[in-house]
Amino acid sequence: MSVMLKLTVDQVSTAVLLLDREEKVELAQRLPTLLTVTSDAREDAGWLHLAESAFQFWGDPIEDLYNDLIPVAGSEN
C-alpha cells in the first residue's frame, strides 16, 4: 500500500514557518537540490547576493523624503 502526500504551497509555507532557526538553515541548504536549481542559477543568485551591498545607500531613512515628491506637470526631469 502506497500513500501519496500532496501539500499546497500555503501548507508548505506554514510548515516552514514552524521550523526552528537551525531547521530553516538546513532547509535553505537543501532547497536548490530539491527544486533542481541549475548550477548556473545558483551562481547567478550568488552574484546578485554579492551585489546587494552596492544598493545599501538606498536604505537610508533620511532619503525616504524623496518618495513623496510629486513631479511637476510638463517636467521632463
Report the candidate in 61, 53, 11, 9 with the shortest Cα–Cα distance to residue 35. Answer: 9
Contact 27, 19 (CB under 8 A): yes
0.75 exceeded by pTM: no
Which residues neighbour 22 within 8 Å (Cβ) at sequence distance 6 or greater? none
Write down the H helix ranges in the chain. 9-18, 21-34, 39-51
26 or 4, which is more confident: 26
State the cell numbers at 63: 532619503
The type of residue at 70 is I
pLDDT in tens, 24-75: 999 998 988 888 888 898 889 889 989 988 888 777 888 778 778 877 776 6
